[in-house]
Amino acid sequence: MLWLKAFHIIFMVAWFAGIFYLPRLFIYHATNQIGNNEKVINEQFKIMERRLWFFVTPFAVLTAIFGFSLIYMYGTDWLKASPWMHAKLTLVALLYIYHGYLFKLMRDFQHDRNKHSPRFYRFVNESPVIVLFAIVILVVVKPF
């Protein structure tokens, strides 16, 4: 059980590193499009974004696999008696939706269809921090 927890946390941290950095690349990419719009730099951002996406997506999958393995090991009675876990799973579902949205944004950049400003991407970049805080508090404090 402790090995499952350890791997769940390891892959979650690696996944979060990626979902924090990918929107940061979007900020720089959008800034370049507004500024000098150099084609070589735009193409380099496209490569970096694509590679990062395909690097971190397996971490998202492994986070889910180890997380659901833990829920399975604890059992359905434990899950029913843990309302904090229901809140956590709701937030986690939002993170997977966010992850999918990052894919959509990346594809927009890949096809030169970006319509958002660097300021928009700053908001996108910072929003998962709030979700991370809430998840950690739910898991550690178990407020309900």
Q: What is the pLDDT of residue 34?
A: 86
What total number of domains does the chain contain? Answer: 1
Which structural domain range is residue 6 located in? Answer: 2-141
59 close to 18: Cβ distance less than 8 angstroms: yes
Predicted local confidence at residue 140, as pLDDT:
96
pTM of the model: 0.93
Residue 49 CA: distances (Å) to CA of 30, 74, 104? 12, 37, 12
List of the chain residues with pLDDT < 50: none
Identify the pLDDT of residue 38: 83
Residue 36, pLDDT score: 73
Tokens in use for 53?
């996406």
The token duo for 97 is 């939706």
Contact 91/131 with Cβ under 8 angstroms? yes
The tokens for 108 are: 């927009």
